[in-house]
Amino acid sequence: MGKIRILVVDDSVVVRRMVSDVLSSDPHMEVAGVAANGRIALAKIEQSNPDIATLDLEMPDMHGLEVLREIRRRRPDLPVIIFSTLSERGAAITLEALALGANDYVTKPANVGGVVQAIECLKTELIPRIRALCQPHRAAVLPVEPSPSGRMAAPRPVFFEGKPKAVVIGVSTGGPGALTQVLPQLEETLPVPILIVQHMPELFTRFLSERLNHICRMNVHEALDGMIAESGNIFIAPGGWHMLINWEPPHFVLRINREAPRNSCRPSVDLLFESAAEAYGSGLLGVVLTGMGYDGLKGAEKIREKGGYILTQDRESSVVWGMPGVVTEAGLANKVVPLDQVATEIKRLVTMGFRSPMPVGTP
């Protein structure tokens, strides 16, 4: 396989140079071209035929959203990563870009201490996303810590037959689009709360929650510490904060904290899933959707150990089959479905209930 060829689109010469230097430092990547505005970018796409593009949104002459619409018309399969500012406006238009078909986004380094730190931040955030999006049907994961035997420990499910009391969802790369497809199909009468970790920075989750609240029949909230997890509501972990759920009689209560990242993520899917498994026991439905990395693997193990049920998105419909891939390949998924069947399965399992498998050796 040849090098991944990237088109860098940004009106700032400093940013173009910095991004180009970061990408060129990777032996598997090369800069196919740079563009200072949208019109040049569209011409460069035709001339250089890149594998992927990074796209600034705030540009003169032709706004990034206009460029994205035109890219989607001309090259619908070209992966596009939005390069946005960490601001309210940046968050709002990035969410709009994701709704228009951008594949992922990276926020421009800010307040990181200097040029060296900014470069390291870009290497950490941008390069793995490019690799993942240019190999969309491979599990883009980091090494998983093995069990002492050298193999992943098999779950020991507890027998359970009944209806779930809550649904927890973990999602990352491609998540806003996936959630936009799944959540509006759920009725406000759904008799469970839905708790979601979407890997996003601060500000972004607020705009995501507001956008989803406009199109969903269930009420969608960015979670606050102390909220009661009431049925018929969707709660999204705020960017930069972990979200957990505790049983604090007589209610299930959301708790928000800024403890250290887990799996380099805050919020962490693992922490939500593990706390929910402790709170709800076997009456828990876990859903793992498209995303890069392996956050959610340990949490899915905990849900299965408690007797809960795990639903994962399939390889073909995932933007990146990382998070759902590792859970599926570890043997933790009770069922694997394409994205367009996820809402139907959630409704079926909540309405009809599920039966978890008996432990191995049970007569």
How is residue 106 written in tokens?
A: 């990276």
Does residue 269 contact residue 245 with C-beta atoms inside 8 Å? no
**Interatomic CA distance for residues 210 and 180, integer angstroms:** 12
Please pick, among 282, 295, 317, 318, the residue that the annotation labels catalytic.
295
Is 214 a catalytic site residue? no
CA dist 264 → 142, 242, 281 (Å): 11, 12, 27
Per-residue burial over 59-92, b if 16 or more Cβ lie within 10 Å, else e, is beeebbbebbebbeeebeebbbbbbbbbeeebbb
Please pick, among 20, 51, 84, 199, the residue that the annotation labels catalytic.
199
Is 295 a catalytic site residue? yes
**Could you tell me which residues come within 8 angstroms of residue 176 by beta carbon, excluding any fewer than 6 positions away?**
95, 98, 99, 198, 208
Please pick, among 20, 172, 282, 356, the residue that the annotation labels catalytic.
172
How is residue 184 written in tokens?
A: 């509006």
Cis before residue 267, ω within 30 degrees of 0?
Answer: yes
CA dist 270 → 101, 189, 303, 358 (Å): 28, 28, 10, 24
Is 221 a catalytic site residue? no
List the catalytic residues.
172, 199, 295
